[in-house]
Amino acid sequence: MSTRRLPLPERYDFAGTIGPLVMGHHDPCARIADGTFWWATRTPDGPATLRLHRTRPGSPELVAAGYGPGAGWVLDRADAIAGLRDELNGFTDLAAAHPVVARLARVHSGLRLVATGRIFQRLLRAVFEQKVTGKEAYRAYAATVRHFHVQGGREPAPGPFAGVLLPPDPAAMAATPYWAFHPFGVEQRRADTVCRAAALAARLEECADSAEATRRLTAISGVGPWTAAEVVRTVFGDPDAVSVGDYHIPHMVAWVLAGEARAGGRSGTSAEADRRMLELLEPFRGHRGRVCTLLESAGLAAPRFGPRMPMRSFARF
């Protein structure tokens, strides 16, 4: 085990910052337990687990510990994974363009954007989140991780915490037929997308920045602007990545920033909703994704006018 101490900025929000790295309370690859964050990953140097925690409540620093062959890699990136490389330069001036955004920027000033540096691990989750409910996405993701854990000989995540598993090996996923994902609630479209992405995982991990990653990701059939934005915002800490094509975010933005219950109007198309959202976010260019993150962190949402999306299952297909 190797360790590293990370000085923290004032009012740093540990739970809020690392929250996007954890999918639900029982994410198989990432967990917050007793105030400690555990994250298992596959690095260029081999499997690794990162632990982040404060030695005491209110401590002005985080202690990072790395385990496994990739311990050095995760420790080198520990500050980025904790959101401590996130640059807020100029955001205060931009936030002043709208009173709600300005207030949230003050209230949530300790919120930072993480940058994990690992593309495929986040892409796997994002593909499973396409056009389904959160519960459906979580079930598919968790079942897939556990399946490949067993298929891979139950390779343990390094370190003393047994509550996390390594993400699937992309090579193993690329060689898996689409129908093998059906018991996990994943239909052929998303399964094929995952397998195509897994076959290109090594090239994806070579991307130097958000722009290059977006180009390569959207060149994969089944990966669109929404999926790419979800990935690069977490992998590169891109503060301008907007999840165009999301069902809820355009209406949230329109409601909070303009008092409009529906972006693009009640009868507007999803494309019209996206156009209206981007129009309202334009004054915050450079930090448009950060504004959306702030609105979501505050629990703001547009009024609902219809039933929730029903739960479905492809497991019996």
**pLDDT tens-digit profile of 54-94?**
988 888 999 999 999 999 999 999 999 999 999 998 999 99
Cβ atoms of 64 and 75 within 8 Å: the answer is yes
C-alpha distance across the termini of the chain, in Å: 46
Distance CA 102, CA 89 (A): 14
- pLDDT, residue 24, reads 85
pLDDT at residue 266 tops 80: no
Residue 87: CB atoms within 10 A of its CB come to 11
Average pLDDT, the chain: 94
Say what the pLDDT of residue 116 is: 98
Q: How far apart are CA 191 and CA 173, in angstroms?
A: 10
Q: What is the pLDDT of residue 89?
A: 87
Q: Cα separations (Å) of 279 from 54, 225, 254, 256, 286?
A: 41, 17, 10, 14, 14
Q: Which domains does the chain have, with CATH numbers?
A: 2-88 (3.30.310.20), 119-224 (1.10.340.30), 249-297 (no CATH)
Q: Of 199, 181, 41, 184, whose CA–CA distance to 122 is shortest?
A: 41
The mean per-residue pLDDT over the stretch 93-121 comes to 97
Does residue 250 contact residue 274 with C-beta atoms inside 8 Å?
Answer: yes
Structure tokens at 142: 């968790």
pLDDT at 306: 58
Residue 316's pLDDT is 52
- Summarize the confidence of residues 95-118 as an average pLDDT: 97
The predicted pLDDT at position 180 comes to: 96
List pLDDT tens digits, range 220-253: 999 999 999 999 999 999 999 999 999 899 999 9
pLDDT at position 122, please? 98
pLDDT in the model for residue 142: 97
The dihedral through the CA atoms of 181, 185, 299, 26 has a sign that is negative
Predicted TM-score (pTM) of this structure: 0.93
